[in-house]
Every structure is written in C-alpha cells, then in structure tokens.
Chain A
C-alpha cells in the first residue's frame, strides 16, 4: 500500500501530476488539486511519474519499497 503526500505550500497547480496520473490526481471545480491519498499499488508507475514530473517537487510517496519520493 502506498500513501501519497502533497505539500500544498509548494504546489503551484502545474497539473503535471494530473497529466501523468489522471485517476489519482485531478483539479476540482474551483481549480484546486485533489488526489486519492492511498491509491492501489497498480498505480505506482504513474504516481512515480507524477512525482518526477512535478516542477516544484511537492509530491511524496510513502510506504512502498523502492518508491522514489
């Protein structure tokens, strides 16, 4: 089981995580980032890509061996 953290003090709504993992990250109707904090491990690859693509490095991944934060 992985757990995602997003530092909302860093987040600038670039949306790269939404592009990379659209079933985990999304913008709500007010354009704020929302995300599923504990997605299935089947999403690990795309969540890793989302974290790598974040220009402000706001996304952390916890709880999965070898996951790059």
Chain B
C-alpha cells in the first residue's frame, strides 16, 4: 500500500492511524476530518466540560510526533468510488487510496418534525456543541432534557449541578431502561429524584415552542413545559450519506465482518476498505437461536450489532481495522467485550458486555444510601453482561468471565 486515507479524524481515525504505523505501514497516511480540530475526546463533553471551568484543550487527544500524517481538516469525505479507489472531498478534490479506513462517526439525531430548532435548543456531539451548551447552563434557568439514554441522563445531571431547574423527558418507562434494564434504570431515577431533577417517563416531544427563542417544550399529550433551554439527546445517526451509491452495504451504518472489512452489497469484502468506531456495524458475538423466546428483542439480535457508541469500541475496532489493512486475513478478528461508563451525581455507572440484549436481569446488590449497585444480565440463561456502581472489582470479575466465554467461542 502506498497511500492510506483515513476518513474521519476523531478517536477511531487517530487510533487506526497509530496502529497502521505501529504495524509497520511506511507509506503516505492522510487523515480527513470534517471538523476543523485535530482529534479530541468526546466523553468529557457531557461530563466535566459542562460542569467544570476547563479549557477546551483539556479534551485534546495526543497525536504522536512521529505519526507522519497529512491532515486535511475542516473538509468532509463527500463521496466514494470504491472500485476506482478514490475518495471525493467536500472541496472538490479527489484523493486516490490503496487502503481506506472509514471512521466518519455519527451525528446527533434530530427529528425532522422539530426543525427548524429555535435558539436555546441544543444537541451535543462536538466541542462547539459543548461550549454553546455550557454558556446556556446558567443557574435558575429552566432546562428540559429529552432522551432516555446515557447522554440525556448525564446532561440532566450536569445541568442540575450547574443550578438549573431540570426536567428529564424520557420516552421509555424510565431512564436507561433500554441500555441497562429496569433495576439500574430505577436506581438512576432515584439519584435524579434526590438531586431534584423531575423525571417524566413515557412522553415524547412533539414541538419546540417559541419561534426564534425557545419558550416551551410541547409533549405528545398536549402538555407544554415552560423552558429557557432544551437539549435533545435522541441518539446518533451514522455519517454514511457520502457512501450512498458506492456499492457498500449500509444498514444502520457501514456493515463490516469480524475483521472490520467493509462489506459490499453482495456481501463480499470491498477491496482495501475497513471501518471503525460509531459508523461501523459489526457481526453480533452471540447470534440468536432461531426459536428464540425473545422475539421482541429481534431488533437487537438480527445477527449484526449497530454501533454502541462506546469509547472502548472505537479504540478496539480501530486497532483491528488497521491490522486488517496491513496483514489481511492474518489479522486477528475482533473479540472485544463492550464496556462503557456513565458519570452523574458524583457516581460512575460502569458496564461490560451487552446488557441491552438480556431477557433477564438479576440484582445482586442495591444500596441507595451507599450508592452501590450490581446487576447481572442473562439471555436464554447465558450470562451476557453486568453493570455496577461503586464496585469496580466486581465489574473486572464479570468482564473476565465474559472474556473466557468469548475465547471459548472463537
């Protein structure tokens, strides 16, 4: 390979580039980034970057001095000729490649029905998003945070810590129930309650009221919540529009095999193309039994796994993808166990495995006074994941069990 193009200059793109060099790739390395910044870390954007007076540079990711890469920033990958091995850039340039890493990530999901967004309405994905939200987090203001996932709960907690009056609107029965089930979701709801956050489960947002400046958030039952600011944390959509018509299989992201080789629409690997991070859809480690009892979970278990959006996934996939480009079939397949964390109200919820895929959960410990929690997740009787608060050694033990099962499988 003479030239590798990395489309996407965030965590996955950077780590893929580093691994390419570590594995001996000595050719030309070009990273293309839609944002105007060198790579930075996103997890702090919904945590410390909102509550603490930290400089934006606190999230800079270190770029090794010997990476020897060309950076094309503030420029998007805008089209792909996968058979001619050329990336079209948003400035009109064509960039031929021998190897391509697709790491274009994902963008905040905004329902079209809510557009245009009045001022005071935020999403959170980029450094600029965080800076703009932080300016709006002024004590005494009324904030409505919309979303049942980790991001919504973290932002609600951060806004409350900044002294705002906070309502968390959750479409599900409780926060985080889709991610970590009802016991952990109930526990987090109690922490929100204690912090003075009003949690409204079972509602969807129908309208953002106010014309130019937000005045209220309209719910699907007709209720209007008076609000000075709102944050939409409604999930992420993979950045794949530039791949339309390229012959690459797109299904909730870029479809990959277990070596992160990108698949074409006929199911065969697209020559010289790998993917990593939030844009990648990888095969599921535990495909369903055809007679699965849990038909309602079919969306999670169609044999492929949409991106979980976890930091560790991006890092692990980037390393595998880069090794695949260098070593081909000799590269080890992805065997990573997902892991994630969520910071709010002074605690950290940690998880391993795939709690979202479970049909059964078992609460081993639950103490609201000490703020400790341990829940395990099972699917068809098989242990598939765990979450804990204040029990790091337990998470490590559960992770070890999952890793041993994974080794036995491959």
Chain A residues with a Cβ under 8 A of chain B: 12-16, 18-19, 22, 26-29, 31, 52-53, 55, 57, 68
Contact with A along B306-318 (1 / 0, CB 8 A): 0000011001100
Sort chain B's interface into a size bin.
20 to 34
The answer to whether A52 and B396 have CB atoms under 8 Å apart is: no
Please pick, from A22, A31, A55, the residue contacting B392 in the complex, using a CB distance under 8 A: A31
Restricting to B1-58, which residues have a CB under 8 Å from any CB of A? Answer: 15, 18, 22, 41, 43
- Is B191 close to A, CB under 8 A? no
Please pick, from B311, B392, B403, the residue contacting A15 in the complex, using a CB distance under 8 A: B392
Please pick, from A13, A28, A55, A68, the residue contacting B43 in the complex, using a CB distance under 8 A: A55
5 contacts between A and B (CB under 8 A): A15-B339, A26-B393, A55-B41, A55-B312, A68-B64
Please pick, from B319, B348, B352, B392, the residue contacting A52 in the complex, using a CB distance under 8 A: B319
- Is B71 close to A, CB under 8 A? no
The answer to whether A12 and B348 have CB atoms under 8 Å apart is: yes
Please pick, from A14, A16, A29, the residue contacting B393 in the complex, using a CB distance under 8 A: A29
Q: How far is the CA of A15 from the CA of B349 in the complex (A)?
A: 12
Name, among A19, A22, A26, A28, the residue most crowded by chain B CB atoms within 10 Å (CB to CB): A19
The answer to whether B311 and A27 have CB atoms under 8 Å apart is: no
Please pick, from A15, A55, A68, the residue contacting B399 in the complex, using a CB distance under 8 A: A15
Question: A18 → chain B, closest Cβ, in Å?
Answer: 5
**Besides A19-B337, A28-B393, 17 new A-B residue pairs in contact (Cβ under 8 A), listed by A number:** A13-B392, A15-B392, A15-B399, A18-B392, A18-B396, A19-B399, A26-B393, A27-B393, A31-B390, A31-B392, A52-B319, A53-B312, A53-B315, A55-B43, A55-B312, A57-B62, A68-B64
Q: How far is the CA of A19 from the CA of B316 in the complex (A)?
A: 12
Question: What 7 A-B pairs come out closest when comparing CB atoms?
Answer: A27-B393, A31-B392, A18-B396, A27-B392, A13-B392, A19-B399, A15-B396
Please pick, from A19, A29, A68, the residue contacting B339 in the complex, using a CB distance under 8 A: A19
Nearest-neighbor residue (CB-CB) of A68 within chain B: B22
Chain B residues with a Cβ under 8 A of chain A: 15, 18, 22, 41, 43, 62, 64, 311-312, 315-316, 319, 337, 339, 341, 348, 350, 352, 390-393, 395-396, 399-400, 403
The answer to whether A22 and B348 have CB atoms under 8 Å apart is: no
Please pick, from B41, B64, B311, B396, the residue contacting A19 in the complex, using a CB distance under 8 A: B396
Nearest-neighbor residue (CB-CB) of B340 within chain A: A14
Question: A12 → chain B, closest Cβ, in Å?
Answer: 7
The answer to whether B395 and A15 have CB atoms under 8 Å apart is: yes
Question: B61 → chain A, closest Cβ, in Å?
Answer: 9
Please pick, from A14, A22, A31, A55, the residue contacting B391 in the complex, using a CB distance under 8 A: A31
Given contacts A26-B396, A31-B390, contact A52 B311 (CB under 8 A): no
Q: How far is the CA of A16 from the CA of B395 in the complex (A)?
A: 10
Question: A5 → chain B, closest Cβ, in Å?
Answer: 16
The answer to whether B348 and A16 have CB atoms under 8 Å apart is: no
Residues from chain B with Cβ under 8 Å of A14 in the complex: 341, 350
Q: How far is the CA of A18 from the CA of B400 in the complex (A)?
A: 9
Question: B130 → chain A, closest Cβ, in Å?
Answer: 17
Please pick, from A12, A13, A16, A57, the residue contacting B312 in the complex, using a CB distance under 8 A: A16
Nearest-neighbor residue (CB-CB) of B315 within chain A: A53
Nearest-neighbor residue (CB-CB) of A48 within chain B: B22
Q: How far is the CA of A49 from the CA of B223 in the complex (A)?
A: 51
Residues from chain B with Cβ under 8 Å of A19 in the complex: 337, 339, 352, 396, 399, 403
The answer to whether A31 and B393 have CB atoms under 8 Å apart is: yes
Nearest-neighbor residue (CB-CB) of A27 within chain B: B393
Residues from chain A with Cβ under 8 Å of B22 in the complex: 68
Residues from chain A with Cβ under 8 Å of B348 in the complex: 12-13
Question: B31 → chain A, closest Cβ, in Å?
Answer: 18
Residues from chain B with Cβ under 8 Å of A55 in the complex: 41, 43, 311-312, 341
The answer to whether B396 and A27 have CB atoms under 8 Å apart is: yes
Q: How far is the CA of A17 from the CA of B395 in the complex (A)?
A: 12
The answer to whether A52 and B15 have CB atoms under 8 Å apart is: yes
Residues from chain B with Cβ under 8 Å of A26 in the complex: 393, 396
Given contacts A26-B396, A57-B62, contact A52 B315 (CB under 8 A): yes
Please pick, from B41, B62, B319, B339, the residue contacting A16 in the complex, using a CB distance under 8 A: B339
